[in-house]
A and B are shown apart, each in its own frame.
Chain A
């Protein structure tokens, strides 16, 4: 009996059709596309259209309450961008087919001060639409965050832990969907034809202090060059008070043991005198002393010093990227 000869099995891979290649998630290389000449360009354009459409649809699904707007300083262009909060990220997750997996056990990290703690949680994510994968992304929240006010004990513990997970889900979704920082014009464009308006979005850093965002005075301060901190050299911030205001250091927390501030009327007076002297001497040099009292690091019981700045005064109380919940 003859021994049967087994032919090696030949597997013919089914050819990938052009239409399938238009899908952003179907893997291909530049060489493959180049070999298709004109069709290759069409495939790239189709992929771009799909991604742009999904992005617009995703933004359209969100509400103004899902966004926090941030504004860069005027000297940097004054652009306004939107940051999609965790609740908004949850809305767009299904559209992108974003999955979150390999989620770690939440890890509690104690803070420097008693009663202050943070929760960290890690996880990975993938987008079924683009086949992008992110590994070991971190999410976390702190017991000092806004939403923890009036919570204590187990309730506080749970709230922080839940928020950390929500932050992880949000971070992965924002990253995979590319919605971490969206120009306001793009948001407005996507909301065209709907009652959604960016005016209803929360305003964060760059829109002034919390009081200003709620319609208070601008607090920009007098029309003179602000002094620099006598301790760290940072440009001081003007704070309005009933006795004319004062300048304080924005980094006061970093040198809490060496306080520095200057009364605004006094500073203005000095600036005026310096300008007059300079003018009289017809000197081309700038005012001789732009930093008076820089060494007055421990002024006694002056009115401004009795009102220490808070981080909310300096940075506003709006949440920063990654802090929403």
Chain B
């Protein structure tokens, strides 16, 4: 063993880091087979759900970095629930944090346990109403900063499973609403989650879980999903599942010469266009408010006109704001080939 005096600070730091990694590696556990679907394991691909139940050993084990993130998530959950217990005493309405890490099961139509999980906690506001399930998530800040409402969770492939998880808790407990507590760098975000508008999603999850159970019990596997994007991020891809990759459509070939000519013309005047827009903006900013002016040989005239705008309170604006995932389309046109040099006619 090297003496500390023989090591540079950089070497010591590397060794501490290596020790930290081994610390997490020692805690590594291989996932075990299970006859039900975990509540946090909603997947668009039912085949993957079956494989997670029947061949979990085919999944690559988590590296030390991921295990460290899990540890951090657990720590944050404990701290947030501890804070929440204190906050509940003085809140209006007051509430208690009860039933931490209680097991939960959801049975399918055949009476089998289809979904199993653990509810992080429940919030008890009043004994007359059921306690609302609460799920704590400490996701990456890049993900949580884009989440404003519960439905946003379904837009992201990494948060979707968490959304289904909480919905299954609500459905299983028979309570109309619950909360998702999202850890953030500032104040945590408490998202209300209502069951009724999301019943179809719970139905979808249960149907998938039931189908997965049927296959797991029969020793069969569902058809491959026809979504190569999903396959490419699946841990079973290549290891226990070798689907065809069918969904690539290729570049759209546009053979309209008019369109090609217009794109070429656009490309040719692009720089001049940018220069015009920059100058136009700068000049208009400088001349704003000048009704009559002379600049060298140029006469400048301007006039004021009416302008209406709607100023809504932020809450109201939010209420009427709808996000269309395909509402914005950003187009980039890049010239990849040098245009042919025009022939010189003598």
Contact = CB atoms under 8 A, between A and B. Distances in A.
Interface residues of B, number: 24
Contacts of A161: 238-239
A155 B61 contact: yes
Contacts of B246: 99-101
B60 A95 contact: no
A19 B239 contact: no
Interface in A20-76: 20, 22-25, 46, 49-50, 52-54, 56-57, 60
A101 B249 contact: no
Contacts of A128: 248-250
Given A19-B256, A20-B255, A162-B237, A99 B242 contact: no
Contacts of A127: 250
Interface in A142-168: 154-155, 158-159, 161-166
B244 A99 contact: yes
Interface in B223-237: 232, 237
Nearest to A167: B238
Interface stretch (A102-110, A216-224, A256-264, A284-292): A102-110
A228 interface: no
B251 A57 contact: yes
Contact of A129 (B57, B61, B244, B250): B250
Nearest to A163: B238
A53 B256 contact: no
B218 interface: no
B62 to A, nearest CB: 12
Contacts of A20: 255
B336 interface: yes
Contacts of B243: 103
Contact of B244 (A54, A103, A193): A103
A73 B2 CA distance: 45
Contacts of A193: 334
A166 B238 contact: yes
A23 B248 contact: no
A96 B252 CA distance: 10
A93 B251 CA distance: 10
Would you call the interface of chain A mostly helix, strand, loop, or mixed?
helix
A97 interface: yes
A98 interface: yes
A158 B239 contact: yes
Interface string B301-325: 0000000000000000000000000
A154 to B, nearest CB: 6
Interface in B45-87: 57-58, 60-61
A169 B245 contact: yes
Contact of B248 (A98, A123, A164): A98
A101 B244 CA distance: 4
A95 B253 CA distance: 11
Central interface residue in B232, B248, B256, B337, by most chain A CB within 10 Å: B248
B248 A97 contact: yes
Contact of B253 (A23, A60, A98): A23
Nearest to A46: B255
A165 B242 CA distance: 8
A121 interface: yes
B90 to A, nearest CB: 51
B61 to A, nearest CB: 7
Given A19-B256, A22-B255, A97 B250 contact: yes
Nearest to B335: A193
Contacts of A54: 251
A194 to B, nearest CB: 9
B12 to A, nearest CB: 23
Contacts of A323: none
B237 to A, nearest CB: 7
B253 A164 contact: no
B325 to A, nearest CB: 19
Interface string A185-217: 000001001000000000000000000000000
Contacts of B251: 54, 57, 95-97, 129
Given A23-B253, A97-B250, A154-B57, 12 more contacts: A24-B253, A53-B336, A57-B334, A94-B248, A94-B250, A96-B248, A99-B248, A101-B244, A103-B242, A129-B250, A155-B60, A158-B239
Interface of A: 19-20, 22-25, 46, 49-50, 52-54, 56-57, 60, 90, 93-106, 121, 123, 127-129, 154-155, 158-159, 161-166, 169, 190, 193
13 contacts: A52-B337, A56-B337, A94-B249, A95-B250, A96-B248, A99-B246, A100-B245, A103-B244, A129-B251, A155-B61, A158-B60, A159-B60, A165-B238
**Which 3 A-B residue pairs are closest in the complex by CB-CB distance?**
A97-B250, A165-B238, A162-B238
